[in-house]
Amino acid sequence: MRIDKFLKVSRIIKRRTLAKEVTSDGRIQINGRVAKPGTEVQVGDTIEIQFGQKHVTYEVLELQEHARKEDVERMYKIVKEEKIEKSDGMS
């Protein structure tokens, strides 16, 4: 399954066009490699996403073409979530 579709179906990112945009900007890595919108995702892959001041790492548990809202929590688990501190350059 393509990464942009996985992000939309799993509801990590609400719209596929936004998922494509975020992926095209180089803010998503799969297994440590920068992903493109068409990069394939498989069960067991690690996805790292830069959301503004937050860096979140997910593990893919299940792939589904369509998922109801109550089923999406089985598709992935959050492995790590970090807030990125912005340095203002002041000493």
DSSP of 35-63, one letter per residue?
A: --TT-B--TT-EEEEEETTEEEEEEE---
Question: Would you state the pLDDT for residue 67?
Answer: 84
Full-model pTM: 0.84
**DSSP letter assigned to residue 2:** B
Question: Would you state the pLDDT for residue 29?
Answer: 96
Question: Would you state the pLDDT for residue 91?
Answer: 46
Question: Would you state the pLDDT for residue 73?
Answer: 85
Domain residue ranges of the chain, discontinuous segments joined by +: 3-83
| Reported CATH class of domain 3-83 | alpha beta
Question: Would you state the pLDDT for residue 87?
Answer: 58
Q: Which portions of the chain are predicted below pLDDT 70?
A: 86-91
Q: How far is residue 12 CA from its own chain's centroid?
A: 6
Beta bridge partners of 29: 34, 48
